[in-house]
Amino acid sequence: MSLSATLEFIASHPLSRANRTAAFGRLLGWQLRSRLSREVTVNWIAGSKLVVRNGMHGATGNIYCGLNEFPEMAFLLHLLRPADLFLDIGANVGSFTVLGAKVCGSRVIAFEPDPGTAASLRKNITVNQVADQVRVEVCALGDRTGEAAFTIGRDVTNHITDGSEGPTQLVPIRRLDDICAGENPVLIKIDVEGFESQVLAGGAKVLRCKSLMAVESESDHGDIIPVMADAGFVPRYYDPFARTLSSTPGGYKVTNTIFVRESAELVDRLRSAPRRTVCGVEF
């Protein structure tokens, strides 16, 4: 992310608008710390920590503004309870995994195909002392079992490819239904850079679990919506301050669509969740 884009991100973020000076101070502090040490452990939310290196754009967004993806991360914080199961598909270095396991106390299965990124994910699991709650699967998910070409060196935008996009590595690819047979997830997050349809095709049984309340998907392109609708889900956007779901983003910058099974239990969970204070802002 360019400097101008980073400054715009900080200035417009819901958790930094009220005190942009402090947020810009966190940016400067990070720039200094990351030049003195290749890897830095930073304090995060509710006693959690993140092990971060320069260039980890999603993780550094958490440093600057508390929650890089505010509506989506706040939805997770308000939905999950201890003993729930959260599936973090495309976990990267584990920001969502840490929120689910450390802050909410939930169980997590985290899927990350890149071995180097999976090593960073495991560091964040270890530093937060949640290894007994988190299972890491170093594989991609799709509609088949085998191997797939996966890009290298693109941080949060690494993805499965046909091999025509520069350096790649072969990673194992498996079906979600095979890995999670018998599991009962409450929340799934899918961030797989355009491979969502294949993930859902290999997870049709999991998608129909009665326990599953919501799926956060980075993509909501045309072929996903009928699949989600067939499983009983509708696309919604979350307002963390009002704790309401609506059919429009409501002024928030969002990177994921939240598909939900609308129910009284879902509404009650969101409304009754503990209040969180991040960067001095309560929601």
Q: Is the pLDDT of residue 46 over 90?
A: yes
How many angstroms separate the CA atoms of 233 and 128, rounded?
Answer: 33
Q: Is the pLDDT of residue 139 over 80?
A: yes
- The whole model's pTM is what? 0.93
What is the structure's pLDDT at 219? 72
Taking the CB of residue 235, how many other CB atoms lie within 10 A of it?
Answer: 17
What is the structure's pLDDT at 152? 74
Concatenate the DSSP letters of all residues of 133-183 into one string.
Answer: TEEEE-SEE-SSSEEEEEE-S-GGG--EE-S-SSSEEEEEEE-HHHHSTT-
188: which strand partners?
A: 87, 215
CATH superfamily of this structure's domain 69-273: Vaccinia Virus protein VP39 (3.40.50.150)
How many angstroms separate the CA atoms of 100 and 185, rounded?
Answer: 12
What is the structure's pLDDT at 26? 96
What is the band of 18 on the pLDDT scale with cuts at 50, 70, 90?
confident
Residue type, 179: I
Q: Please work out, in degrees rounded to the nearest 5, the angle formed at the alpha carbon of residue 9 by the alpha carbons of 6 and 15.
A: 130
What is the structure's pLDDT at 212? 98
Query: Do the Cβ atoms of 145 and 175 come closer than 8 Å?
Result: yes
What is the band of 8 on the pLDDT scale with cuts at 50, 70, 90?
very high
Query: Do the Cβ atoms of 228 and 196 come closer than 8 Å?
Result: no
Query: Do the Cβ atoms of 174 and 145 come closer than 8 Å?
Result: yes
What is the structure's pLDDT at 201? 96
Q: Is the pLDDT of residue 115 over 80?
A: yes
Q: Is the pLDDT of residue 187 over 90?
A: yes
Query: What is the chain's Cα-based Rg?
Result: 18
Give the contacts of 239 (CB within 8 A, at least 6 positions apart): 71, 245, 246, 250, 252
Query: Do the Cβ atoms of 188 and 87 come closer than 8 Å?
Result: yes
232-261 pLDDT, tens digit each = 999 999 999 999 999 988 888 888 899 999
Per domain, the residue ranges of the chain are: 1-67, 69-273
